Structure 1
């Protein structure tokens, strides 16, 4: 049971967005830009960064959601997401993505944990300043989202199918389309 009286039984951040819709729009706009906007990183790779940080923070709802969203947009699907979660060093990802995920893990521990050596290593693997910037911002944003969801005691469904069903809609329509539907009263 959530720590506050929510106006819906929707899980995780969805219930919080319904509770305070005026905060939902700017937060969804940020996620739309970071995870779906123009980038040399694929949408699946950016969702993987969000899922990885959420796993490190042990946020069940955010991990389960963004793992499903990443899997829906990566050719290797959930198998790759789970391999990254199980151990970044052994996961079959590009050297550039491994370096960026390492930066994201440092951000998760604390912003000052990101070292010049990590950034140089990411650059050596072909990461651009925009990719490094966006990785840090995705990691920082998901630390906030994880704390928001867990700090208010929202619930996370156990059924992976709940997250997979929503993943297709996110992959096709994005975060803002679902927000509009939600605010218009449609089921999402």
Structure 2
């Protein structure tokens, strides 16, 4: 049961954002900027970084959501996402993406400079300053999003089909559209 009374029955961060559109709107805008705006990293790669950081933070709602969003945009789909979440070192991803996942893991682990070793490994794979910036910012932001979701004890959807429904909406319309207006309720987002 959530630690606060929500004015909706939406799961995870969607319920929090719909409950407080004044803060939910800027959080949705930030997610759109980080995960959907033009970047040298593909949207599916950025979603995979978000899902991986969320998995490291034991945030099931965010890991499952962003895993579904990544799967909808990456060749290899859910099988690839599952492999990365299980062990990025053995998953069938590019060396560049594997190095960025290593950077993201260091950001998730502690608020200190990413190690010279991780930076050198990323540079050896062709990672540029923009890739590093965006990866560090995505990982940092998802530590915040994950804490928002976990610390208020938000609910999970009863039906895992919720994540595929949300993936279709996010890929088509983005984060801000719908979430803060409560359009998620068009799907039976019952919680467990």
TM-score range, shorter chain: over 0.9
Deviation at residue 158 of structure 1 after TM alignment: 4.6
Alignment match, 1:22: 22
Q: Give the TM-score, by structure 2 length.
A: 0.92
Normalized per residue, the structure richer in helix is: 1
CA 7–37 in structure 1, closer or farther in 2 if over 3 Å, else same: same
User: Equivalent residue for 1:144?
Assistant: 144
1:78 to 2:67 alignment: no
Match of 1:112 in 2: 112
Residue of structure 1 in register with 2:32 after alignment = 32
Superposed CA offset, 1:51-73 (max 9, x none): 00001111011011000000000
Counterparts of 2:47 and 2:7, CA distance in 1: 28
Aligned position for 1:123: 123
Note the C-alpha offset of 1:175.
1.1
Whether the 8 Å contact between 1:170 and 1:178 is mirrored in structure 2 is no
1:89 aligned partner: 89
What is the DSSP-based 3-state SS (H/G/I as helix, E as strand, rest coil) of the residue aligned with 2:112?
helix
Unaligned runs of 5+ in 2: 188-192
Residue 66 in structure 1 maps to residue 44 in structure 2: no
> Which one has more relative contact order, counting CA pairs under 8 Å at least 6 apart?
2
Query: Deviations along 1:123-180, whole A, 9 cap, x unmatched?
Result: 1211110110110110011111111001001011253211011101111111122246
- Displaced runs of 4 or more, over 4 A: none
Distance (whole Å) between structure 2 residues aligned to residue 79 and residue 180 of structure 1: 31
TM-score by length of 1: 0.94
| 1:23 positional shift | 0.4
Q: Please give the secondary structure, in 2, of the residue aligned with 1:2.
A: coil
2:51–2:67 contact (8 Å) kept in structure 1: yes
**Unmatched tracts of structure 1, length 5 or more:** none
Distance 1:135 1:160 in 2: 28
Size of the aligned set, in residue pairs, is 187
